[in-house]
Amino acid sequence: MSLAAPSRPVVSTSRVNIAIVASLYNETYVQALLDAVRRELEQLVPLAHVMTYRVPGAFEIPVCAEFVLRHNKPDVVIALGVILRGATEHADLVGASVTDALQRMAVTHVVPVVHEVLLLESEEQARERCIGDRMNRGTEAARVAVNMIQLFEKLRVTFPYPQHSD
């Protein structure tokens, strides 16, 4: 298993809008992800307008992301959360529901949605993935977001939307 983060995109001077929807549940870990995302975005897209929306838990991330997609029209949405498995199937159900909802909205809105709502076995795994630099999923999320923004900028030039005449 590779622990390498996605390649670091070239720094962009584009003015882009980035929305981050982050859970308050398991706050220590999610805040560490959020901090890593912000640090990486500041370096990669210093002119970006970044709005952060905090929701109670992972289950609430999709409805907030959908609202943001409909009303704020961001260039990318980054979803951050940490779900720790317990003795019941609740974590798996929430994880599957969130994953499905985020994927549907990305396809429906044709806007990248970076899914970093982590379904983990233990707090040890959460520390490994959220705190520190070794395999920080927040850093990865920021890189994926910027890579997708840059790809979509190229796609819009290559495949411009047809202009409708009324």
Q: Is 1 a member of any domain? A: no
pLDDT at 162: 64
Q: Give the number of domains in the chain.
A: 1
Which of the two residues, 9 and 39, has the higher pLDDT score? 39
Specify the residue for token string 């990486």.
Answer: 40
Q: Is 166 a member of any domain? A: no
* pLDDT tens for each residue of 1-36: 455 667 777 666 678 999 999 999 999 999 999 999
Q: Is 83 a member of any domain? A: yes
Q: Which of 160, 145, 158 is nearest to 45 (CA)?
A: 145
- For the entire predicted model, the pTM comes to 0.90
- Sign of the alpha-carbon dihedral angle for 78, 68, 99, 130: positive
pLDDT at 98: 98
Q: How confident is the model at residue 114 (pLDDT cuts 50, 70, 90)?
A: very high
Q: Give the Cα separation of 98 and 114 in Å (integer).
A: 12
pLDDT at 1: 43
Q: Is 12 a member of any domain? A: no
Give the full edge-to-edge strand order of the sheet including 113-120.
49-55, 17-23, 76-84, 113-120
Please report, for the domain that includes residue 73, its CATH number.
3.40.50.960
Q: Which of 51, 50, 61, 68 is nearest to 24 (CA)?
A: 61
Residue 113 phi, psi (nearest 5): -120, 115
pLDDT at 156: 85
Q: Is 6 a member of any domain? A: no
* pLDDT tens for each residue of 51-88: 999 999 999 999 999 999 999 999 999 999 999 998 88
Q: Is 163 a member of any domain? A: no
Mind telling me the catalytic residues? 90
Domain span at residue 106 reads: 17-158
pLDDT at 103 over 90: yes
Mean pLDDT of the chain: 90
Q: Is 151 a member of any domain? A: yes
Q: Give the Cα separation of 92 and 79 in Å (integer).
A: 17
Q: Is 116 a member of any domain? A: yes
Q: Give the Cα separation of 21 and 1 in Å (integer).
A: 28
110 dihedral zone (left: phi>0; alpha: psi -120 to 50; beta): left
Q: Are 116 and 127 in contact (CB under 8 A)?
A: no
Q: How confident is the model at residue 166 (pLDDT cuts 50, 70, 90)?
A: very low
